[in-house]
Structure 1
């Protein structure tokens, strides 16, 4: 059995929460095994969706789900799971021909069919396009209302802020809650060049080159045309220097170039994102508490 020795007591308590709940961990992949082990010994029925899933590749999508429907004795759940994950058009597709994104949604659909007390999902948005993200986030948002728990683990800071529910950073030093409250951007003097590093090479970016900046685990990264570059400045310092160039503090951990924003996406009633020209399909998180400030500032 996988070990849970690496988990702090506070994390174990979160895994044992009863009733309808949604808990999300930002953590390194090696901490997923202890999370799974703790849930496995909890005494509750748990549906596991791992980052490394195996399939019966000769079966088609519908037959695969109906196999688990028969095993679980949950009549009528296969069709509902297909619809929830947007897989109706792939119901007769052999599993070996599904895309990685479809396989991820199929894994979730399999656990929907089994109807466990707790859903545990690793990297829920991995490889998803906008429609896939919407399907998964809407389903996750609705899980607590059924009296079940949804627990997710991801190595992506961006992803954890899009997921509905409580958010925590988990590492070898313990557990830290990620607050949703926003820090106000300070006023200051802007500059024309922003320093960043690619390996040992120092780069100087024009503000217009930067799509967004994010802060995770005490480190700041700039996203430029889909590539990430380490930046020694804090997000607060960047906010001060970039505000006059049209950057907006959309989230505690994100600063976005509003010139690059194409769409405001509402994934669920409490999960919003800004979709950028060169940004990730899931978008950059937009805190609910920052929406009114953005409307006032940009007059829409």
Structure 2
């Protein structure tokens, strides 16, 4: 059995057989529809964060729905709209036999202004927060979280991190699946990717260098056309599935070359490689957020407030660059 290196609360077991004593698992072959010897195991007190296509996410969610040992945390959790926030939490605690104190949870998860409000009148932010708490209070030891940060506010991202830490301490086993690489990196500096070839860790160290080539504009492809993009319009550049993509106002353009080469080309133009898979335009950076001692994000100044992963070793350097840029 191969065990991924431990970092913070991200751990994954990839196995060559399916004999796991005392642990449930998700067989990769059943997800991707082809022969594969890997499996994702729910490991008590740990969490694995995996990016995958939406089709695989739906397949895994359907598989887990029939499991008695696994709690499925989705963006829309069942609730009784006639109950208030406090009444719903009391109901959940009683149903699952949770020893967590409802009043403490209300305070910790910033629900005091809403505790007497009926769920039908609560905001999406509050409803999402209630889902996090439901998972934490559940009697099931395994938690499958599906896109838990979808449309999440900064407060909710912090609170999901809090919920993760609390579930770790109680020995719950967590697998978090998301279609967004950026959201996966918000949850952990070490993530995995699932595609039709199986599971693989996403590398996060920067080890390669390419020759220096200076450019004023970048050449990219859009459908069957070749276009030239002004550097000042670029928000960030990412490497995904073997392709290098330029991101501008919700659009992605494919370009030739490696991220290492582009990093070298653009370094003197106000671009910074904040992560092995990402280069950001420093002019487009709005803020830096620390989610935990090992997990950071660069927030872009766009309508989506895109959160780009920031390597721990580059946290201080990018702050210096932003102060003097």
TM-score tier, shorter chain, comes to: 0.7 to 0.9
Summarize the alignment of residues 39-188 of structure 1 with structure 2, pairs less than 5 Å apart. Answer: 45-164=69-188, 166-183=190-207, 186=210, 188=212
Partner residue in 2 for 1:31? 56
- In 1, Cα distance between the equivalents of 2:321 and 2:62? 48
- In 2, Cα distance between the equivalents of 1:63 and 1:199? 53
- Given that 2:246 and 2:255 are in contact with CA atoms closer than 8 Å, whether structure 1 keeps it comes out as no
Measure how far apart 1:167 and its partner are. 1.6
Aligned length: 293
Measure how far apart 1:284 and its partner are. 1.2
Partner residue in 2 for 1:230? 253
Measure how far apart 1:143 and its partner are. 3.4
Q: 1:290 to 1:89 in 2, by over 3 A?
A: same
Partner residue in 2 for 1:217? 241
Q: Which runs of 5+ in 1 are unaligned?
A: none
- Given that 2:237 and 2:278 are in contact with CA atoms closer than 8 Å, whether structure 1 keeps it comes out as yes
Question: The residue matched to 1:256 in structure 2 has which SS?
Answer: strand
- Given that 1:130 and 1:282 are in contact with CA atoms closer than 8 Å, whether structure 2 keeps it comes out as no
Partner residue in 1 for 2:46? 21
Question: The residue matched to 1:190 in structure 2 has which SS?
Answer: coil
- Given that 1:46 and 1:118 are in contact with CA atoms closer than 8 Å, whether structure 2 keeps it comes out as yes
Deviation readout 1:161-216 (Å, 9 max, x if unpaired): 11137521012221111123234554512211123455455442211111111222
Question: The residue matched to 1:20 in structure 2 has which SS?
Answer: coil
- In 2, Cα distance between the equivalents of 1:93 and 1:185? 56
- In 2, Cα distance between the equivalents of 1:115 and 1:83? 22
Question: The residue matched to 1:248 in structure 2 has which SS?
Answer: strand
Question: The residue matched to 1:181 in structure 2 has which SS?
Answer: coil
Farther-moved stretch of structure 1 (181-190 vs 162-171): 181-190
Q: Which runs of 5+ in 2 are unaligned?
A: 1-25
Deviation readout 1:86-132 (Å, 9 max, x if unpaired): 33322222222333333222111112122532222111111112222
Partner residue in 1 for 2:5? none
- In 1, Cα distance between the equivalents of 2:99 and 2:169? 21
